[in-house]
Amino acid sequence: MTDVTKARPSRRERKKHIVRSQIITHAIELFSTQGIDAVTVEQIADAADIGKGTVYNYFQTKEDIVVAFIVDLERQVQTQLEGFISSKRRLDTILADFVLHQFRMKEAHYRFVRVFLAEMFLRTEQFLPYMIEIQKAVDPPLEKLFRNLMDRGVIRADLDLQNIIFTFKTIHLGLTALWAIEGPPFRNAERTVHQGLKMFCEGIQRS
């Protein structure tokens, strides 16, 4: 029997990953202090100590960098998804833990979250294509989470799954805005997460 192991990335692939990470890291730092619109690609290149052309080798626009950063965060959240799916705790506690886990993953970047939300609301039409790309990373784990909860009988089977997910995402967006506005130590936001999701779950959980 032959053992199949995952091939180690080549040196070129590792170098590309490092450069990509440097671009994202420095861009997010600049966006956090100056806003997305005000930062130039030249500034990002200078901060990352690379050429402007190198930035364009990885990202066509500044907004593409934002999408890559948020998608990377979502993938980190997904690594813990099975724990939320298999949890035997109350429904409102599961969902509150899920939201608060996301907040903890983003806490080091909360200033950027504030900038991102402001730009998203002020430049909705321009941001719409990028929001669609972000949703492609956000929606599958949410659907998996809620579908599993419904299959386990935790959520009422007579409700439309997509409507539940849309409502949850709407609540989540409002909670994220509150979290970003408040800033550390986020005590009011954490309390509101528990209260808001408890009320939400009263309408969808199985009696």
Mean pLDDT (whole number) for 8-16: 85
Q: Residue 92: CB partners within 8 Å, gap ≥ 6?
A: 194, 197, 198, 200, 201, 205
The model's pLDDT over 16-29, given as tens digits with 9 standing for 90+, comes to: 999 999 999 999 99
Topology of domain 61-204 in CATH is: Tetracycline Repressor; domain 2 (1.10.357)
The model's pLDDT over 51-91, given as tens digits with 9 standing for 90+, comes to: 999 999 999 999 999 999 999 988 888 888 889 999 999 99
CA distance 94 to 91: 5
Contact 112, 176 (CB under 8 A): no
pTM to 2 decimal places? 0.86
- Segment among 6-10, 59-63, 127-131 with least mean pLDDT: 6-10
Please say whether the structural domain 10-60 has been given the CATH code 3.40.50.300. Answer: no
Neighbours of 132 (CB within 10 A): 10
Q: Residue 174: CB partners within 8 Å, gap ≥ 6?
A: 196
Segments making up each domain of the chain, as ranges = 10-60, 61-204
